[in-house]
Structure formats: structure tokens, C-alpha cells
Structure 1
Amino acid sequence: MLQITLTHYLILASVVFTLGTVGVIVNKNLVLNIFISIQLMVIGVCINLISFAYFKYNLEGQAFGFFIIIVMAIISSVGLAILIVIFRKKGRKIFENQKLICD
């Protein structure tokens, strides 16, 4: 029977982090896609942290990973609220003009 080891978790975390990095590099102009890609990168780091804590039998690392996920959820809601306010202010122009932050 296949046993899931620390290496499996590290490979998963590196794949998720790499997908996030590629998303940031490819989507330089799309604000929402960059935001989602950064979330993927943080999730990759959290998988690393939680997997190391699990295999070392350390609950503090798992709790720290849980708090990171909570903070990222709060940041996501604030970022989404900012995007909604900008969309209401500018309308569909934010999709045409990619210099969103400069205005």
C-alpha cells in the first residue's frame, strides 16, 4: 500500500507554488489573476509549513499555518472589496485601461 510521505507533500507544495509564480509572471496586467496567483503561492508555503509540522509532531506549526490561512482570507476579502469599489467607480474601463493603480 502506498504511504504518503513528507516528499509527496513537498512536491505538491512546490507544484502549487510554481503555478502561482507562473500565474504572476504570465498575467502581469490582470489585477485579479495576479491576486489569485499570489494566493496560490501562499497556499504552497502553508502546505510546506503544515507538512513539516505534521511529520515532526509539532502542533504549533499547524496552528501557525491555520492562522496564515485565516489572515489570507481576510486579505482576500479586503482586496475583493477594493476591486468592487474601483469597478463601481470606473465601470468597464478598468478592463480596458490596465493602469489601474496609477489613476
Structure 2
Amino acid sequence: AGLKGLPHEAVYCASKFAQVGFAQALDHELREKGIRVSVVAPGGVHTEFAFGTGRTPEDSRLKAFLRPEEVAEAVVFALAQPPHARVFLVGMRPMVEPL
């Protein structure tokens, strides 16, 4: 939602786009201090939050969403970079979602 607009989710998408801009601004302010800023932007993640969109635990598409552990691996990847490098954006999507 922070990398593309979605129908019926205008406010949610706007908040996610704002997070990307906020991260870019933080990078400008903190990079010289050696602080790295990264954004992990997953698509659908199989959490209770996804149920709020009308899905149920039995929804077959929900079962194909990313697991929280998979998103955590992306965070670890961003953190594991050497001090002179940074990963700014990790975009992840389950195979049931278009890019």
C-alpha cells in the first residue's frame, strides 16, 4: 500500500506512502550520524490485522499471504548489512498479489 494505490483503501495507502517519505527525510537527517533507515513494505501478511478487511481465517487467499516470520527475515536482512551500506526499501508480495 505504500508503493501503489489500492481501491477502497485510500487513507490506508496514504499513510503508507507517508511512511516512505518520512523514512527518506529521516535518512537525510541521520545518515551523517551513521544511523541507517530502512523500509520493509510487505504485501498481505497473515495476521489478525488482515481479518479486518473482511477476510476470515478460512479464506484461501489469506492462507497464501506472507507469514510474519518471513517479513521478520527481511528486517534481519536490512539490519545485517555492513556499516557502510544500507538497504532502503525491501518490497515483498505474496504470489497471490500482483506487483
TM-score (normalizing by structure 1) = 0.43
Higher strand share: 2
The structure with higher relative contact order (CA 8 Å, sep 6+) is 2
TM-score (normalizing by structure 2) = 0.44
Higher helix share: 1
Larger Rg: 1
